[in-house]
Structure 1
Amino acid sequence: MQRQKLYVYAGSIWCLLFALMSFYWAGGGMIGVRSLGGFIYQKALEREASFIMLVWLTGIVKVCGGLFLLLLLGKWPRTINRLLYSLSLLAGIFLFLYGMANFLSLALSAFGLLALQVDNFALWWRLLFWEPFWMLGGVLVTLAAREFKKAAVTF
């Protein structure tokens, strides 16, 4: 049970930290935005209303993800257990694969094998921080799902 709590809380904190970044940027904060590079950085500079609304929305989705993970700490009927497990496992796999796909495409770009519109500053930030951060979230959510399944009395 302790391991389950560790992964659930770590995954929730990951989601909430990620959400705080989105809310900071949506509110006009610019620290760290350049590290994202490309289209996102350009839109952040332009402050286009639809883009800013999208950033607020991503923050809300991340908060919901953190709250969803906390549901894994409850005791639920078998059907709900299966649903929570399936959704959290799929979310974890998606987050990891998203980060990995971006990491691989950026690595190919770093070696000159793929042309991307991202400057070197953002390229290295994304390779060394952002994409591994996505993958970390995927690992945490996947581990939380696995431990939830192990701890569930009815599955």
Structure 2
Amino acid sequence: MVADLVPARPPRGLLLLVWCGYAAFAVGLLHALVSVYWAAGGTAGLDTLGGTLEELARQRDPRLIAIVWLTAGLKLVASVLGLAVVQQWGRRLPRGLLLVAAWGAATLLVLYGGALTVGQVLVKVGVVAAAPTMNWKAFHWHLFLWDPWFLAWGLLLAAATWGSARRQRTG
């Protein structure tokens, strides 16, 4: 009777995957907020980007600023996908479209973050030679924060999406 009114909790493993959705949202939101900060004119941390990107950002190049605003919006949408695959309101969205979008975003994030991180690790351990003009400060920021952050976000979103698809199949 009363037990019939209490919704069944998902198995512990699926509950962990739900938390991955929340974590994917948080990681993505933080990524988006950094982009919004830079697009709005913030300069703290620009030196961690390095190269032409840093120069154009400091010059407030209108094309770059437009791209950063667009990127911030895409990051926000991708972060919300983490919630959509684990929240009740996400079930009101077309399921196939939601899963394709979430898997697509997760794949892009993993490939982008993974390829850059692996490439930088190869430079760091000496398998690939560093350019003589390497900006080591920016390199280390990318190696230890920016690029693994994309990879972690993609893995969290993939886990949440997998859990959502699995829960849908099992009822």
Same fold per superposition (TM over 0.5): yes
1:119 alignment counterpart:
135
Rounded Cα–Cα distance in structure 2 between residues aligned with 1:7 and 1:92: 12
**1:143 lines up with 2:151 in the alignment:** no
Q: Does 1:100 align with 2:103?
A: no
Q: Give secondary structure in 1 for the equivalent of 2:91.
A: coil
More displaced stretch, 114-123 vs 47-56: 114-123
Evaluate the alpha carbon distance shift between residue 46 and residue 69 of structure 1 in structure 2; reply closer, same or farther with a 3 A threshold: same
1:21 pairs with 2:37:
no
Task: Say which is worse superposed, 83-92 or 35-44, in terms of deviation.
Answer: 83-92
Structure 1 window deviating more from structure 2 (1-10 vs 37-46): it is 1-10
Q: CA RMSD in A?
A: 2.3
Please report the TM-score for the alignment, with normalisation by the length of structure 1: 0.86
The 3 A distance-change label for structure 1 pair 47 and 117 is farther
Question: Is the deviation greater in 52-61 or in 63-72?
Answer: 63-72
Q: Name segments (4+ residues, structure 1) moved above 6 Å.
A: none
Name stretches of at least 5 consecutive residues in structure 1 with no aligned partner.
none
Structure whose CA Rg is larger: 2
Q: Which ranges in structure 2 are unaligned for 5 or more consecutive residues? A: 1-9
Q: Deviations over 1:39-89 (max 9, x none)?
A: 211111111111111111111111111223322123358xx3233223212
Cα contact 2:78–2:102 (8 A) shared by 1: no
Structure 2 counterpart of 1:38: 51
1:49 and 2:49 aligned: no
Instruction: Please give the per-residue CA displacement for 1:111-153, whole angstroms capped at 9, x wherever unaligned.
Output: 3525386401011111111111111011111011111111115
> Aligned pair count?
153
Q: Supply the distance in 2 between the matched residues of 1:118 and 1:44 (Cα, whole angstroms).
A: 19
Q: Secondary structure at the match of 2:29?
A: helix
Partner Cα distance (2:104, 2:110) in 1: 10
Per the normalisation by structure 2, the TM-score is 0.79
Maintained 8 Å contact 1:96/1:138: yes
Tell me how far apart the structure 1 counterparts of residues 133 and 164 of structure 2 sit (CA, whole Å). Answer: 41
Q: Give distance in 1, aligned partners of 2:129 and 2:19.
A: 40
State the shift of 1:36 in Å. 1.3
Percentage of pairs with the same residue: 29
Of residues 79, 82, 96, the one that matches 1:82 is: 96
